[in-house]
Amino acid sequence: MDAPGLFAELYLDEDVSVRIAEILRGHGYDVHTAREKGRLGTTDAEQLAFAVEQGLVLVTHNRTDFEELAVRYFEEDRTHAGIICAVRRPPHECAQRLMVLLNDCTAAEFVNQLLYI
């Protein structure tokens, strides 16, 4: 993973609504989705590995599996750009919570963090 830029870019895994990406983009944020990247049907580990390769903060609703992956990365001294576990809410509410984080944190501050919204 390359050194992060100033602003975090997000990668929404396949269980996160693409509407959230549309809302965030409308506010000027860089957001990528599993659908757009042709990553539908890949495992959680593969989703995280892709996000790591691209330097993207992964957003998911799948808390349990990604908590386990975050622990594995920590134990193996591996780096990720960040993982955000979002409770399922209406897309506009989830996007609003993500914007709060994106406005408050630089990309470097997300690195190796497991955050909850």
Position 82 pLDDT exceeds 90: yes
Residue 1 is assigned to a structural domain of this protein: no
Q: What is the mean pLDDT of residues 105-110?
A: 96
Q: What is the pTM of this model?
A: 0.94
Position 59 pLDDT exceeds 70: yes
The pLDDT assigned to 100 comes to 97
Position 55 pLDDT exceeds 90: yes
Residue 3 is assigned to a structural domain of this protein: no
Position 61 pLDDT exceeds 80: yes
Dihedral class, residue 27 (left if φ above 0, else alpha if ψ from -120 to 50, else beta): alpha
> Among candidates 83, 88, 54, which has minimal Cα distance to 71?
83
Position 75 pLDDT exceeds 70: yes
Structural domain tally of the chain?
A: 1
Residue 57 is assigned to a structural domain of this protein: yes
Q: Which amino acid does the sequence have at 67?
A: E
Residue 107 is assigned to a structural domain of this protein: yes
The pLDDT assigned to 4 comes to 62
Position 3 pLDDT exceeds 60: no
